[in-house]
Structure 1
Amino acid sequence: MSLRTILVVGGGMVGWSAAAALKRRLPQLDITIVPVAPPADALADRIASTLPSILGFHGDLGIGLGDAVLRTGSHYRLGTLFRDWVEGAPDYVHAYGRAGMPIGGAPFPSLWARAALAGAAPPFDALSAAAMMARTGRFVTPQADGLLSEHSFGLALDIPRYTAMLMAFARHVGVQGHLGEVAHVEQDARGDIAAVVLDNGTRLTADLYCDCTGPAARLHGTMAVPHESWQAWLPCDRIVLDDIAGDDEAAPMERVTATNHGWRWVSARQRGTVYCAASGARHEGAVAFRSGATLEPWRGNVVAIGDAAVGVEPLEWSNLHLAHSAIDRLIAMLPAGRPHPLEAAEYNRQALAEARRVRDFLVLHYATARRDTPFWQARAQASLPESLAHTLRLFRERGRLPYYEEETFDRDSWLAVLFGQQVLPRRIDPLTDAVPPDEAAAALASLRDSIAQAIERVPTAARFRALQMERLHERA
């Protein structure tokens, strides 16, 4: 049997992304979507902030910044400012770019850590061009060379307009649609999906089904696949969202502030509050969610994508990224005929490794936070996933980070959070001995000054978008 038809069930950003990508990159297949509206707890469809990986996803589809950003009213974002996660410590920016550069052959993080242990280091993010652009409200896309060449950026989406763009693109490349709600899912003798029946009586069949229906997993959930809960490490389980009209003058970053029961944020397109209901907090209009992952996102002829496969709180904005990654992985591993168990097993291994490492990065924020309230004290005393515990043991001893397959956040991101939350190694890499402290201090001061001078010439984020809009209209 050759693979000819795929049915995507679920609308919103995840469903339309899946349908558009499958048809664009595999035009020989018949792709149909049932655009069921995403539920309130489908965070991959509800969170406006994205990681830089969205640009690669757009690039594979042939969608440029004009369509993905300017015509949809979206904004650029260089990272996130974290405030009050460590009481008494300054805020810090986790930006998408390298901080510092090697000095005299010695690794920059070790040199900075040595200076920090001596109480003589500038803020770590002051040595990141992306972080300093974010703090000063400036923005430019990566340049050909120099200090402004090695950063990346995500987006703060206008979700309704962005979803409408995806919908139009999917239809343009040939995706077919059926309106209606899912009334019933038929299964065959093997337990695979035999058909999806809509409330108007339409019976839809396919060789492969993509479940993009959110945490309820309307298709995948019928297959009794084991689920792994992460609530012991990520206890926040309520979210309040408020989309805003868009602030053209907003800095190109989110501001995330720790609270007594969780955290809150504000960005150019959205504000929200995330908290743990068991800690006693209450907010009107809160939506319940849970953190965890299915152990087999690909089971039989069904692939769970987005919140149907993995759910996490939006700290660090990985929700839509995990959905896009699942779509890319499916396209790369799509079988020629009936899915083979070995193909599904390898897909599941990679997907779960990626999801667990994202989980570790989020738990890192809680594990290294220091706040004197019951919620945060419990976080400090909680046991950790062994993979994260190993990472922290290695880093706290020698300032080194292990390598993991399927890593979403690079070493620069890990360092930004670790150093930002005042986590320093006990011992310094001996390679730093080749650079005297005075020489390293002079190099750090020179780099900080060079970054400040470089970004003085960079336009504000609002001005950069305005210039792009002018050029877009000139070409129209």
Structure 2
Amino acid sequence: MTQTPRRNLVIVGGGTAGWMAASYLNRFLVRKGWQITLVESPDIGTIGVGEATIPSLVRFLRAMDFDEDVFMRRCAATYKLGIAFTDWFGHGHRYFHPFGICGSINGLDLFHFWMKHRIEGQATEAYTDYSLQSLLADEAKGPRQHGADSPIMRTGTYAFHLDAGAFAQFLKEVATAEGVRHLFGEVRAVRRDPWGDIAAIDIGGGRELAGDLFIDCTGFRGLLIEETLGDPWIDWGRYLLCDRAVVMPLPREDDPLPYTRSTALDAGWMWQIPLSTRTGNGYVYSSQHASPDQAAQALIDRADLRRARSADPRHLKMRIGRRGNGWVRNCVAVGLASGFVEPLESTGIHLIQRALELLVDNFPAGDRDDLLRAAYNRRMQALYEEVRDFIVLHYVLTDRVEPFWRDARSVAIPDTLQDSLDAYEMDGRMHLTHSDIFSETNHHFILAGNGRLPRRPTARVDFTPLQPIVPVLRQIREQNRAMAASLPSHRALIAAINANP
């Protein structure tokens, strides 16, 4: 029996992207005879911010067979049930984007029946008043009892706030314990074979790493995908104006809330992400509308960082857009090397995760790999465009009068988003071209939260009598209240998780 020769996968760059790639891909490839090596510079530190996630991370943790409590303790994690948007539509206005759905009737999202109730029954409840996650967020409740299951846990409709640096370290320990080789070094040269593929990288000290497949996790630089293979960057600055961020931590709040806060400021928006050890604060802004000093001062003033400042401001430049093709020849870009859309809806880790899942689904087989690469690139391009459109949606709905906000809502709207909005105006259906992350329900939360409602309910609902619908709506709210009453405070749940190593 002929033994299959060992093949080499080389990951260039560490951080969240690199170590997610190493730990996840190793689980699939080690049994196929692949050796994974991750090489990173010893001089490039991580940003180390608190990071928010979306429910797909639950799928990743379960695929990796991680104990959720252990993961949460290691990563200073708290639960996230959605995002609260304050002052986005105008000063004093607040709406909530929860995870999960509010419910469905006869196969249609509850939104359409809620709309009918609003129109015909003069109901005053908000659409999110039917969301269990929204109710739990309002009451600062956790999604489960400690050591017990719950409907939210079974459906996976929750996410986490986590320390990104600690998450990378956790994954590093898992990956290296399972056979991933870890090296420090600087890429000094890239050698290509006669067909144009990457054959090996020189990492200094007389060391050369040969590889069959390379993963570029070198951030915006794109050392392999762009500098070596020449894949272009498609800039989306005409759609999204925020291109800078300033970051500062704050000591932990006494009561970490189970949701992310996004507060609109004069030239962008501020995030507040509660971890179990501290609170992450950052201001995402447009450099055309505020200077770095102005942005830092606005963050300090708004987050009250003068009271307990634990670090100096850290300034970051953001490159908004995506690769022309994230997979070129034998190199796949993952993380910032692949693309970046501002972190308003916490999609950064999800985009890394989906890149890895799609790579496994389309892994090179040695036969017509060009078709596999093309399939991967189509899916990733559509995914980035879906995120872009959803973020643009938040800006075009605003009614704020500051120059940044006037400019942000006056951007060119992508055709894909405009077509969906035109359909929504008629009867509330979005007719989405792609829906990998953000379904019609997600769009309904944002549109209804900003007071943008369609002209009428969809026809099937319009033909349905209102009388039998009202008790169903009432029952949903009663069930949610009963569930909320049975759950502990988020603070108590996080304390219990961290008290039981």
Instruction: Tell me the TM-score normalized by structure 1.
Output: 0.91
Residue in structure 2 matched with residue 298 of structure 1 by the alignment:
327
Q: By how many angstroms is 1:353 displaced?
A: 0.8
Matched residue SS, 1:267: strand
Q: Is the 8 A contact 1:73 1:158 kept in 2?
A: yes
**1: CA distance, partners of 2:109 / 2:59:** 29
In structure 2, give the amino acid aligned to 1:316: E
Residue in structure 2 matched with residue 108 of structure 1 by the alignment:
110
* Residues 126 and 199 of structure 1: CA distance in aligned 2, closer, same or farther (over 3 Å): same
**1: CA distance, partners of 2:365 / 2:129:** 51
Question: Aligned pair count?
Answer: 469
Residue in structure 2 matched with residue 350 of structure 1 by the alignment:
379
In structure 2, give the amino acid aligned to 1:20: S
Task: Select which of 13, 21, 26 maps to 2:16.
Answer: 13
Q: Is the 8 A contact 1:298 1:348 kept in 2?
A: yes
**2: CA distance, partners of 1:213 / 1:177:** 15
Task: Select which of 460, 463, 470 maps to 1:431.
Answer: 460
* Residues 459 and 299 of structure 1: CA distance in aligned 2, closer, same or farther (over 3 Å): same
Residue in structure 1 matched with residue 132 of structure 2 by the alignment:
129
Residue in structure 2 matched with residue 187 of structure 1 by the alignment:
192
Q: Is the 8 A contact 2:50 2:163 kept in 1?
A: no
Map 1:450-465 to 2 at 5 A.
450-465=479-494
What 5-or-longer segments of structure 2 have no aligned partner? Answer: 297-313
Q: Is the 8 A contact 1:135 1:251 kept in 2?
A: no
1:259 and 2:265 correspond: yes
1:224 and 2:225 correspond: no
Q: By how many angstroms is 1:251 displaced?
A: 0.9
| RMSD (Å) for aligned C-alpha atoms | 2.6
In structure 2, give the amino acid aligned to 1:110: H
Deviation string for 1:121-167 (max 9, x for gaps)? 30221110011111211012498777886561111112232222111
Task: Select which of 254, 275, 284 maps to 1:274.
Answer: 284
Matched residue SS, 2:135: helix
Q: By how many angstroms is 1:117 displaced?
A: 4.7
Residue in structure 1 matched with residue 398 of structure 2 by the alignment:
369
Residue in structure 1 matched with residue 256 of structure 2 by the alignment:
250
Q: Is the 8 A contact 1:138 1:461 kept in 2?
A: yes
Q: By how many angstroms is 1:225 displaced?
A: 1.2
Matched residue SS, 1:5: strand
Identity %: 29
Task: Select which of 171, 183, 194 maps to 1:178.
Answer: 183
Q: Is the 8 A contact 2:420 2:432 kept in 1?
A: no
In structure 2, give the amino acid aligned to 1:163: A
**2: CA distance, partners of 1:145 / 1:34:** 41
Matched residue SS, 2:282: strand
Q: By how many angstroms is 1:32 displaced?
A: 0.3
Deviation string for 1:170-204 (max 9, x for gaps)? 01110011111222222333332222111333111
* Residues 400 and 253 of structure 1: CA distance in aligned 2, closer, same or farther (over 3 Å): same
Q: Is the 8 A contact 1:139 1:252 kept in 2?
A: yes
Q: Which moved more, 1:240-249 or 1:123-132?
A: 240-249
In structure 2, give the amino acid aligned to 1:280: A
Q: By how many angstroms is 1:107 displaced?
A: 4.7
**2: CA distance, partners of 1:376 / 1:91:** 16
Residue in structure 2 matched with residue 380 of structure 1 by the alignment:
409
Q: Is the 8 A contact 1:70 1:465 kept in 2?
A: no
In structure 2, give the amino acid aligned to 1:219: L
**2: CA distance, partners of 1:321 / 1:10:** 18
Q: Is the 8 A contact 1:261 1:276 kept in 2?
A: yes
Residue in structure 1 matched with residue 202 of structure 2 by the alignment:
197
* Residues 245 and 175 of structure 1: CA distance in aligned 2, closer, same or farther (over 3 Å): farther
Deviation string for 1:59-117 (max 9, x for gaps)? 22222203321233211111110111112674121111111442x78752112223445
Matched residue SS, 2:54: coil
Q: Is the 8 A contact 1:261 1:375 kept in 2?
A: yes
**1: CA distance, partners of 2:253 / 2:403:** 35
Q: Is the 8 A contact 1:98 1:412 kept in 2?
A: yes
* Residues 443 and 286 of structure 1: CA distance in aligned 2, closer, same or farther (over 3 Å): same
Q: Is the 8 A contact 2:39 2:184 kept in 1?
A: yes
**2: CA distance, partners of 1:322 / 1:396:** 30
Q: Which moved more, 1:140-149 or 1:428-437?
A: 140-149
Q: Is the 8 A contact 1:39 1:214 kept in 2?
A: no
Q: By how many angstroms is 1:339 displaced?
A: 7.5
Q: By how many angstroms is 1:465 displaced?
A: 2.5
What 5-or-longer segments of structure 1 have no aligned partner? Answer: none
Residue in structure 2 matched with residue 398 of structure 1 by the alignment:
427
Residue in structure 2 matched with residue 236 of structure 1 by the alignment:
242
Q: Which moved more, 1:45-54 or 1:142-151?
A: 142-151
Residue in structure 1 matched with residue 302 of structure 2 by the alignment:
none
Residue in structure 2 matched with residue 159 of structure 1 by the alignment:
164
Deviation string for 1:374-431 (max 9, x for gaps)? 2212222222111111111111111002143452122322211111111100122233
Q: By how many angstroms is 1:11 displaced?
A: 0.6
In structure 2, give the amino acid aligned to 1:177: H
Residue in structure 1 matched with residue 75 of structure 2 by the alignment:
72
**1: CA distance, partners of 2:353 / 2:131:** 28
Q: Is the 8 A contact 2:201 2:208 kept in 1?
A: yes
Instruction: Tell me the TM-score normalized by structure 2.
Output: 0.86
